[in-house]
Structure 1
């Protein structure tokens, strides 16, 4: 039976109704989560279809075990994102037969034993790419690579050290695109490594390591030495009793560099590695392959090599009864029951993931390549399959902590609010582990469970003290999952749940937004017309839960308030002094430490600071995070991502950039234009864009297939050339692309326009016309992204065109009218073609 398909507009309009008019949430859902095939056909009309898809698949797994939950019960938990929300990959992939991809959000990789050879380094590079193409974020550690200057037995004679390999892995990440977004990478290194200072400095050089997050693993000995001003010994290998390299350093000086770089550029993040290992339940099985070596890109899942994690969030706001009133209370009875269901659903998702990995391996086996080519990819997934099934690791987390506290009348960052949050997370830990023990009775424990190995683990003993009966049952029956909990940034999930992300403070609940209007409607007041000619009216939009507070306190939510009136309302509400820039930062760190005691993995939190804070505050926050028991910490100072990088070609202090001048309009196209070649992927097809440049600014764009019989075949090394306008003997115009090959010979591809689908060619002509009249690039991108075209395939193509143009936006340019999908603030700026949020530091490329 043929499945029903929907047009983009049908899905968007149905989702708009589902989200009660929230356009951003509707577009995010249709673009990221609705099931589509390779031809752009959409098979889901609204999130209700998605939730039934997930519920039916989880119910299918439930039916294999005693006391199964029904599809209706599961749907009711997920409907309207109210209680339980699968995140990212599970939401996209469960029940999706059109995509061969993993359900895991993140992976860590790494070779067993010595991994310092070129062969091992290149194998890690390949495994990173293979995972990213299946939608996975990847983390790996570089502490195994010998330091710079070490002797090697090849023609180089000495090692180059860590930094060149950081660039290698970063470039691979930028190369892999996944349906409009790049892969995510975390690189880490131990502070004990002699090259750790170079690692810490690597991202301070312009254009270097732009495709990776970096974090340094700090041990307790280093932290104490940095505070006390005593020496610290670095060595290689870092864990060897007889190291080949040893050097004594000034710990305080290196610590100041970490603090300075974090203050200046928001990196490196810090991982308090002894705390992570000491608290890690899976590390009780380190000798069986579960030794934690690095974290995923968001830093909330420390993992052993070839383990992975799937994520699910519980919406805390939904358990507040009578929100924003004096009668508000938290429904712990329902909450405890739902936490148990969440852990059960996560375990079911592991079975679904094992099925997905089987499908991936079958696909690899059926590929036409030789065993020599595809053998390494197959072996990679065999290792992941084993770790997934053996440990059954899960990642149950939360969203909307800030909204929960506000709805309870508690101000984020106060002692009262922190104590309540700690109680909530203690409840999650006890109920999730209780659920895992109950599943061990019904389904069996994870295969290597051994209570004797875990008896001295601090986290397990915390559970034992809080609930002795739970611990006795765990010793008797085992546990279904090696580890259960995390707190991840919920990103676009928080947009669709209309909540704040993770344990972050609430974002500013009220803001101005532009609404597009019909200029021919006499009833509509138009405030201004923008550069595209579109008419807009300014009006006030409220944060969803702020509206609930207004209604609960008798305010008219239909009235159009001035911004001054709104500010006065905010000052009377529980949202006052609860935004990311208002909270007590030290209290936030202490809150993270107290919650961390009840989370067996880690907590992903960014401390957002105003631009004018000094480095001493960053120092105090990092030290307090270590002392409070946090497993990691990242700071983001407003504006620190923009204009902080140092050019490798010039050591002089960067001058303030000159005011931007719009380039001069040149109506007659020059015969020859310099050209950049930008490659992108449209569904399964590989495309190439030729961007003609006049005085360094985009002037025209051509696009076409690069690997079809009728398409354009270019060496991968070609990134630049010239577009030449020619006229044949019949007076017909054509555009040729010319480049120089590696031997210096000129090569010409004739008739670019003849190689295009006519429809694509016409749209490209339209975009080129806008470029020639020098509309600002960020406005052109917005125009392209707003095009609503009939074919989903063309819609996907135009997203690729927008990606190709983003690299030409001047760093620091504000993305006006766009909200950060992570924190909801309209504080996005362009940086190296990516959108960076100045409020929370999150980034998105592509």
Structure 2
């Protein structure tokens, strides 16, 4: 193993220098430049930046991959690798590989996602706590995590401890969700997927868990649907749930109306975009790794976005191929797709992916070495060390890769093909079939040169539907695989490309364009010469509106002689869009059933899964959501997510309804404080200090909030497992006397901390009373957050407190709520909404928490 050491005498660039150079690199695209500098430029823990433009990063990556290539015959050179990855044009390592390859300043994995789990008696408290710790250990190294809860005993089951009966799945959902939120650092949230089988007796509780405001906000949730349940829904029949799930001799079973539970799933997805659905029998039956289920490769859950189903302790690294770059003469009548170059680059991409596994194994070695060198006791380090040893084993044994694509929407537009049309679906299928055949061919050639993955057995795979599809398409490839084996257990995915697509300046993943053209605002000085003021906001600031074109739409305009520097009216823009190949091909335009059928057709050539969202307008019916889910199952999709515009906060309301709702809110709370309030306890880190917030609730809405330091000699000392089910009592109704805090301990007895108000810094307490009074008189939570953020406070400590109060309250803001008076730090847009306590930009998709 080569231990990376920080380079000596390297040039250090300031943030401004790197940003200016990157803006020039991205031809004026300040959003792409900001994303690259903030997320991917090489920097140390002190913030020193060692790369000026992405060219430096791509050279760093090429150098490391070339080092691995030297271990094998017929190695690629550094320049060959650099030419394939430079300018984000052809091959694009995603996320963790881009940031971590050749990075000597961090000890972190190169994997984008992991799944964890237990064998045997995994629903014991010990097993559940072990998963909680493993999840945190992975997230602190920036990995997304998934795990399944189907092994946990249903609510009310007998247990041999003091509780006598099991609490069921939901409390553990909240535990894992809270852990995800706690591990977030510097505004970056952890990513978690929780899944459960529809066969589990608690699945209905699981499906409902996120419908209560503020609950399970740190996780995505998906239900594993089996074919028997889907058929029961289609036929209007009953369905039997069991524990253990699918057991021939279950300890517990119950018969349910399949259609009734189905309607609840559909309703919740219509209202809140969750739960997502995983068609589990399709996933398992199609899965090549599940041919080795008895050897530890049984798929149990997926990564947070659902595109990589995994067995426990397996991981995956992602890479995208930029489809747009293979269109020659784009947006013209001569446009064509260069399949020869495409096939060549797929082979190189698969080879690079295999090299990245070797680099990952070096990173895991370094992580284990660090754990061994840490001063904690062996007992404390055991879970973390065993976790990484298990991950090391799976990566070394199966060598799983995750080759995907981006820019599918732009590729089709550049060829003059409408996204979602029959022609578009057929061409996309041809593209993904080519990816599958060439990636598997490269893996077979790599097996010939480097050796097959350790447990390869063609006999196990001979009846796998995906492998048989490859055989039908290319018999020579199939028989070569029988002779030489395959280097990698599974190879393909289609992931969301997020920030990657900002740097490729294309549409994301398999998705169509979101909008080909939109308007933004920038603040201007009305006294400057030649300035145009289009809008004056409520505080008197002047703004100029300007048009932003999607990069490839702008390229279409240039190819067709349409000026891009003109300030068009909306009517003129509409006419221009109507002439383009993007017309009626945006995420909101594409026929929903066509998109589902396209996903099912493409899925036949993707051995893992596809992350794709079906976007629906706000007025879409629950019936339509149900039809889309059924169509997705029948089309052969492995999973599906439906997002109805504005659904995160329920149905959007008209101005008249909103006024009525606000008036109702203003009179909903009693201004005379009840003697006893139920409360939530929120824990978080703020400026590296541990903080705690007590949030008094009425009807689940914040009525008061008190925040301060936690768990030290100057703070509030309460058990870390106390997060909910508590009360705050006050002796005087006006709050002039002390407040007491009371909770039930693990044995059910009440424990009281008297004089809670005296435990806080008096300045914190007085400001908290002020904020609480605005809540008690009905100020909407998002406006209370705005008020808190606008406070001009003198000392650093009180400003830190202010940030903590705002952070604690944000989790109660309804998803989809617009954030006024705030701008996106990436693109300067004012189109910000709250999503699970985070501010998300509707224009560029960036998110900031905390």
TM-score band (shorter)?
0.7 to 0.9
Change beyond 3 A, Cα 1:448–1:319: same
* Displacement after TM superposition at 1:35 (Å): 2.3
Change beyond 3 A, Cα 1:692–1:713: closer
Q: 1:813 aligns with which of 812, 817, 828?
A: 817
Q: 1:515 aligns with which of 503, 512, 522?
A: 522
Partner of 1:743: 753
Write out aligned runs for 1:336-351 (5 A).
Answer: 336-351=343-358
Q: 1:325 aligns with which of 328, 332, 348?
A: 332
DSSP-derived class of the 2:600 partner: helix
* Displacement after TM superposition at 1:73 (Å): 1.8
* Displacement after TM superposition at 1:388 (Å): 0.6
* Displacement after TM superposition at 1:575 (Å): 0.4
Partner of 1:667: none
Change beyond 3 A, Cα 1:839–1:660: farther
Greater shift in the superposed pair: 168-177 or 277-286: 168-177
* Displacement after TM superposition at 1:43 (Å): 2.1
Partner deviation per Cα, 1:429-484 (whole Å, 9 max, x = no partner): 00000111111111111000011110000000111111111111111111110000
2: distance between equivalents of 1:490 and 1:17? 23
2: distance between equivalents of 1:304 and 1:285? 10
DSSP-derived class of the 1:566 partner: helix
* Displacement after TM superposition at 1:539 (Å): 1.3
Is the counterpart of residue 360 in structure 1 residue 364 in structure 2?
no
Tell whether the 8 Å contact from 2:213 to 2:812 is kept in structure 1 after alignment: no
Partner of 2:838: 834
Write out aligned runs for 1:51-66 (5 A).
Answer: 51-66=58-73
* Displacement after TM superposition at 1:142 (Å): 0.8
* Displacement after TM superposition at 1:679 (Å): 6.7
Partner deviation per Cα, 1:122-155 (whole Å, 9 max, x = no partner): 1111111111111011111111111111111111
Is the counterpart of residue 496 in structure 1 residue 503 in structure 2?
yes
Partner deviation per Cα, 1:15-47 (whole Å, 9 max, x = no partner): 211222222222222222222222222222222
Change beyond 3 A, Cα 1:812–1:421: closer
Partner deviation per Cα, 1:159-188 (whole Å, 9 max, x = no partner): 111111111111111111144211111111
1: distance between equivalents of 2:192 and 2:712? 31
Write out aligned runs for 1:443-592 (5 A).
Answer: 443-530=450-537, 534-592=541-599
* Displacement after TM superposition at 1:240 (Å): 2.1
**Unaligned 5+ runs, structure 1:** 646-652, 663-674, 723-736, 755-773, 785-795
Write out aligned runs for 1:156-171 (5 A).
Answer: 156-171=163-178
* Displacement after TM superposition at 1:104 (Å): 0.8
Tell whether the 8 Å contact from 1:440 to 1:480 is kept in structure 2 after alignment: yes
Partner of 1:401: 408
2: distance between equivalents of 1:708 and 1:100? 29
* Displacement after TM superposition at 1:528 (Å): 3.6
Partner deviation per Cα, 1:725-771 (whole Å, 9 max, x = no partner): xxxxxxxxxxxx999796314686898999xxxxxxxxxxxxxxxxx
DSSP-derived class of the 1:42 partner: coil
Tell whether the 8 Å contact from 2:649 to 2:817 is kept in structure 1 after alignment: no
Tell whether the 8 Å contact from 2:521 to 2:829 is kept in structure 1 after alignment: no
DSSP-derived class of the 1:657 partner: helix
Q: 2:214 aligns with which of 187, 207, 216?
A: 207
2: distance between equivalents of 1:561 and 1:716? 61
* Displacement after TM superposition at 1:837 (Å): 7.0
Tell whether the 8 Å contact from 1:679 to 1:689 is kept in structure 2 after alignment: yes
Change beyond 3 A, Cα 1:547–1:801: farther
Tell whether the 8 Å contact from 1:217 to 1:272 is kept in structure 2 after alignment: yes
TM-score under structure 1 length normalisation:
0.84
* Displacement after TM superposition at 1:497 (Å): 1.3
Tell whether the 8 Å contact from 1:639 to 1:838 is kept in structure 2 after alignment: no
Is the counterpart of residue 622 in structure 1 residue 629 in structure 2?
yes
Write out aligned runs for 1:139-288 (5 A).
Answer: 139-288=146-295
2: distance between equivalents of 1:497 and 1:799? 35
2: distance between equivalents of 1:779 and 1:149? 43
2: distance between equivalents of 1:375 and 1:824? 46
**Unaligned 5+ runs, structure 2:** 1-7, 667-678, 729-737, 743-751, 765-780, 792-799
1: distance between equivalents of 2:343 and 2:663? 57
Tell whether the 8 Å contact from 1:436 to 1:479 is kept in structure 2 after alignment: yes
TM-score under structure 2 length normalisation:
0.84
Partner of 2:445: 438
Tell whether the 8 Å contact from 1:222 to 1:232 is kept in structure 2 after alignment: yes
Partner of 1:726: none
Tell whether the 8 Å contact from 1:7 to 1:41 is kept in structure 2 after alignment: yes
Change beyond 3 A, Cα 1:777–1:356: farther
Change beyond 3 A, Cα 1:298–1:824: farther
Q: RMSD over aligned Cα, in angstroms?
A: 3.9
Tell whether the 8 Å contact from 2:42 to 2:103 is kept in structure 1 after alignment: yes
Partner of 1:132: 139
DSSP-derived class of the 1:658 partner: helix
2: distance between equivalents of 1:821 and 1:614? 35
Tell whether the 8 Å contact from 2:271 to 2:650 is kept in structure 1 after alignment: no
* Displacement after TM superposition at 1:381 (Å): 0.5
Partner deviation per Cα, 1:518-555 (whole Å, 9 max, x = no partner): 44421222334446665421111111111111111111
